[in-house]
Structure 1
């Protein structure tokens, strides 16, 4: 990391999901289908969800890539750590950690963001995105659907796919 830059303190977004930890973990790392709590993107990796693998968050039609990174740590069903870089912004990669812990009433799910450049567009985007993910991940695991607002947002993104900036096209973000 560039020592001249200032970084946002670690941000923690937390919720209790009324489901067993194995169910929550399985939904989080599912690579087979779009994750509506990730704006209908899906984990795309060549090596699977394993430490050291490169990943990208790709649209279901594989035409758009919103995020790229590396899987830094996998400790099923408790911890997933990734580097995280938004393809739409020139900011450096940050770190996102997903933590799961069994608690009374289900599974505590925490999303932790770190190493985000203070004042960057990524800071604002990741704060809003983290809240969206936590709220909609809970709704999805508990009910099979994300919130009404998320469903509308995902539908709008689907309609806007033909207008996606060229910089986000999948061919610009290979997994090699």
Structure 2
């Protein structure tokens, strides 16, 4: 999946250097380590939001596409920053394609929330929309960057329970960033520490 990536915000100071990692379909790999080591940056590269200075991301034997449908979707740590405040939540979901009512129900989205704007919902409610949007398309991999750190324990448990079941059902590989050792021990097939 990740082949010899090098990236730095300054060319002379690589944050990530010659890093490779394979994540199999259906596998859950957790990046665990100190802040500032490039975990979020790596997630952005894997999901296609940043380009590496060298190396590549390979999905199903092909380089990550530069345009069109993306086989890797990312769920961000701060859900309120990953939605357009000018759009209703229905419009936000429709950006990914037709709305799947079964998916909305499974992730715990109430119908009345669809007509609301992000400012009218809690962080946990918005995060449920972000998860539904990421899973609305046919994907190979899901990147989850500290997605439940801002949520209450009940919402955290509900979201992770849903994600684990859905990823298993659809054979989606997951690259997860977390500082929560209890969560890591519960969800990880493999842990990569301070790469």
TM-score (norm 2): 0.25
Higher fraction of strand: 1
TM-score (norm 1): 0.27
Structure with larger Rg: 2
Q: Which has the higher contact order (CA 8 A, sep 6+)?
A: 2
